[in-house]
Amino acid sequence: MNRAIAIAIAGVLGLLAATAAHAQQTFPSKPIRFIVPYGPGASTDNVTRIYGQKMLEAWGQAVIVDNRPGGNTVIGSEALVKAPPDGYTILLVVNTHVINPLLIANLPYDPVKDFAPVAIIGSQEFVMAIHPSVPANNLREFIAYARTKPGQLNFSSSGGGGLSHLSGELFNSVAGVRMTHVPYKGGAPAVTDLVAGQVQLMFSSAGAVLPNIKAGKLRAMAVSGKTRIVALPDVPTFAEAGLPNFEATNWFGVLAPAATPRDIVNKLSAELIRVQSLPDVKEKLVNQGVDPWPGGPEQFAALIKSDLEKFARIVKSANIKLEL
């Protein structure tokens, strides 16, 4: 290679490296788009806005919440994959991200290879909520009643293939009952029809049903997790109520496009974890039924891997199929 050409190439490479380093040092220098694959008002949307406000205060750059509901979160996830890998577009995900590849053929992305885990930002236990017309005051009574009504009790979900759906299928299995799944396009209409008595029960994130439980419009049977939740101190865990093999915990995590520079991923991760430690944020999350769960890129990658394995067993056992 001609020496002059080699020097020129080296100079260009050096300039590119310097430019990239400067971009990472000054990140963020413009608004960040935070994609939520659910509609406004959902717990995912509320959590995202809590974090976005604190990121704005710290960085002085707007955090724009971009709601992209539909396709069982596929629409929002695909939007992230197509975004520039520069840290200015990130995505909130829940367990559905690892459930989709088990149910949907020909996903337009790879759920692992096309994404860079940024951080775990919280977890939310699920509540089994029933309509007051169901003659059961506790979980044992409900199971006994359900066994006399095979296929006649309907449980709603925020959509086929989501955790609220799989929770119902898991309950069928471990409780020895047979209930019918009724999917909705989002958690809000699923809760609305439950309150109206159109369906008999739902396995829901705590925040989505808390107001109606406190108002007496729904009755809580049990909560998932190892301990009772602060918002419902009188409601037992499934283990306490006699069903120790039932587990349904919804996590919240943030992803970036796979090629996002590691320095920017780390900066985003550190900020999201910092926000979790703020007392007012903790209070707001608890009011949403969400527990802070700080975890960086490595911890989130490990969680994705373990949940892929766990949900694969549930999907196979229940023979769940999903049509979008």
Which of helix, strand or coil describes residue 5? helix
* Predicted local confidence at residue 1, as pLDDT: 52
pTM over 0.85: no
- The rounded distance, in Å, linking the Cα atoms of 74 and 315 is 18
Q: How confident is the model at residue 91 (pLDDT cuts 50, 70, 90)?
A: very high
User: Phi-psi region for residue 316, left (φ > 0), alpha (ψ -120 to 50) or beta?
Assistant: alpha
Please provide the DSSP assignment of 276-318 as one string. HT-HHHHHHHHHTT-B---B-HHHHHHHHHHHHHHHHHHHHHH
Classify residue 192 as exposed, middle or buried by CB count within 10 Å of its CB (0-12, 13-18, 19+).
Answer: middle
Confidence of residue 20 (pLDDT cuts 50, 70, 90): very low
Q: Work out the percent of the chain whose per-residue pLDDT is above 70.
A: 91
**CATH match of 30-121+258-316 with 3.40.190.150:** yes
Q: pLDDT by residue (tens digit) across 132-166?
A: 999 999 999 999 999 999 999 999 998 888 889 88
**Amino acid type, 132:** P
Q: Average model confidence (pLDDT) for the chain?
A: 89
- Spatial contact of 202 and 155, defined as CB atoms under 8 Å apart: yes
Task: Sketch the domain layout of the chain as residue ranges.
Answer: 30-121+258-316
Give φ, ψ of 276 to 5 degrees. -60, -30
Characterize the bridge pairing of strands 201-205 and 32-36.
unpaired
Ranked by mean pLDDT, which of 131-145, 164-178, 185-199 comes out on top?
A: 131-145
